[in-house]
Chain A
Amino acid sequence: AIRMTQSPSSLSASTGDRVTITCRASQGVSNYLAWFQQKPGRAPRLLISAASTLQSGVPSRFSGSGSGTDFTLTITYVQSEDFATYYCQQYYNYSPLTFGQGTRLEIK
Chain B
Amino acid sequence: EVQLVESGGGLVQPGGSLRLSCAASGFTFINYAMTWVRQAPGKGLEWVSTISGSGDNTYYADSVKGRFTISRDSSKNTLYLQMNSLRAEDTAVYYCAKEGGSSVYYPLDYWGQGTLVTVSS
A residues near B (Cβ < 8 Å) are 32, 34, 36, 38, 42-46, 49-50, 55, 87, 89, 91-92, 94-102
CB atoms of A34 and B112 under 8 A apart: no
Measured between beta carbons, the chain B residues less than 8 angstroms from A44 are 37, 45, 95, 108, 111
B residues near A (Cβ < 8 Å) are 35, 37, 44-47, 50, 59, 61-62, 95, 100, 104-114
CB atoms of B111 and A94 under 8 A apart: no
CA distance A18 to B107 in the complex (A): 26
A34 in contact with B107 given A43-B114, A44-B95 (CB within 8 Å): yes
A94 in contact with B107 given A44-B95, A49-B100 (CB within 8 Å): no
CA distance A74 to B113 in the complex (A): 26
CB atoms of A89 and B45 under 8 A apart: yes
A102 in contact with B111 given A91-B106, A97-B50 (CB within 8 Å): no
